[in-house]
Amino acid sequence: MKKIKIHNKNFKLFISHEKILSAVEKIADSLNEKLKGKQPLFICILNGSFMFAADLFKRMESVEAEISFVKLASYKGDKTTGEVKQLIGLSQNIEGRTVVVLEDIVDSGITIENIQEQLRQLNPREVIIATLLLKPDALIKKVQLDYVGMEIPNDFIVGYGLDYDGQGRNLADIFSIINE
Ligand SMILES: O=P(O)(O)OC[C@H]1O[C@H](OP(=O)(O)OP(=O)(O)O)[C@H](O)[C@@H]1O
Ligand code: HPA
């Protein structure tokens, strides 16, 4: 079993890049179908979602899609702070538009609830949420998610955009913490 160390913590291989891409492809297939003729604006939640957004967005072949980025942060180290800081906001007018929010992970649900509420106030036509990963046992918010790539246990993970204190985002696979 492939193992890695980041800072002071050990991690083991959890989801291979191949499995990640097959989850991304499933979401892309459904979105290509749902978004036909809609000219949606995709919103990638930085930092963590950049890899998921890149892999998904290039598969949007049947859609006249645009993409923009917002930067929110709620995690410090391997834990949520319980509050969301907005570091870069949205510059586009989304009134009357179909918006697709791209998240790498929904954990406590605090970040997605925050962005959903912000977008709602800007009067979009509809907001569709797609997350690659969901930790159902960690949710403390009631959130409506339209597309979920994979449900995973409530363990800290890194890789494919997700970090531990800034590191690990470049890993193609996803690794799960070894609790020692
Ligand atoms: O459901 P939640 O508990 O809110 O956790 C999910 C959020 O946490 C991570 O972002 P983070 O705050 O670590 O910022 P980053 O993307 O810059 O790493 C992840 O990318 C999500 O946006
Ligand atoms: O498990 C996680 N790992 C990295 N970042 C995160 N942000 C929310 N959950 C996680």
Q: Does the predicted TM-score (pTM) go above 0.80? A: yes
User: Is the four-CA dihedral 67, 175, 17, 21 of positive or negative sign?
Assistant: negative
Is the CB of residue 105 below 6 angstroms from any atom belonging to ligand 1?
Answer: yes
Domain 24-152, CATH 3.40.50.2020 — does that match? Answer: yes
Q: Which atom of ligand 1 is nearest to the CA of 76?
A: 13
Does residue 163 have an active-site annotation? no
Strand order in the sheet with 3-6: 3-6, 9-15, 174-177, 157-158
Q: Enumerate residues lining ligand 2, CB below 6 A.
A: 75, 105, 107, 156-158, 162-163
Per-residue pLDDT of the chain (180 residues; tens, 9 = 90+): 899 999 999 999 999 999 999 999 999 999 999 999 999 999 999 999 999 999 999 999 988 999 999 998 887 888 888 888 878 888 889 999 999 999 999 999 999 999 999 999 999 999 999 999 999 999 999 999 999 999 999 999 999 999 999 999 999 999 999 987
User: What ipTM, to 2 d.p.?
Assistant: 0.98
Q: What is the DSSP letter of 125?
A: S
pLDDT number for residue 143 = 94
Closest-CA residue, ligand 2 atom 1, reads 156
pLDDT number for residue 71 = 92
Three-class secondary structure assignment of 41-98: EEEEEECCCHHHHHHHHCCCCCCCCEEEEEEEEEEECCEEEEEEEEEECCCCCCCCCE
Rounded distance from Cα 37 to ligand 1 centre (Å) = 31
Q: Are 144 and 129 in contact (CB under 8 A)?
A: yes
